[in-house]
Chains A and B, each alone.
Chain A
Amino acid sequence: AQTVTQSQPEMSVQEAETVTLSCTYDTSENNYYLFWYKQPPSRQMILVIRQEAYKQQNATENRFSVNFQKAAKSFSLKISDSQLGDTAMYFCAFMKQLLYQGAQKLVFGQGTRLTINP
């Protein structure tokens, strides 16, 4: 079974600062995806960024980037130039990659509550 661990229950930074959220996972699979989801108070789960395990290059989406260390089973999220709208719960998630079998279940971590202060 896969497990995902987020060791930082809460984090708080000032607007415009850079913040890094940590995530580790455990799996015996070789092919998988990793995700960061954002859940603001509105409750809508929003995909922030996705990484395919077979890709060595770290994914980036505008101000969001990841540091994917496959051997260490580590997947951290860096938010640059943080904005007030980044305030939310952030969840790290794992999904096995099975060819021709469509989307698999997501396994989530416990979440990190991020607050951006003005």
Chain B
Amino acid sequence: LAKTTQPISMDSYEGQEVNITCSHNNIATNDYITWYQQFPSQGPRFIIQGYKTKVTNEVASLFIPADRKSSTLSLPRVSLSDTAVYYCLVGDREAGKSTFGDGTTLTVKP
């Protein structure tokens, strides 16, 4: 089961690009990388998922280097409403075989 390491917290300002990196040194060959966002008093919400290289959707981009030992979630031009906790998960292929770490608390300031 791949263990993930993320920064505990990050600060940013409105309009900036934010990059949150997750380390997962023992990722398995078949593991995907999934990111979730959680607002206070709400359940986590799926943001993006990838296996290798780059994935982009309407919300974020996910960059995964060739060795797949880390991944970077990129949020373009953040706003105050992006203030949330962001979780990186690895190894979600089997039900019950992935765990949420403590996440990264992103605070966006005006």
A and B bound?
no
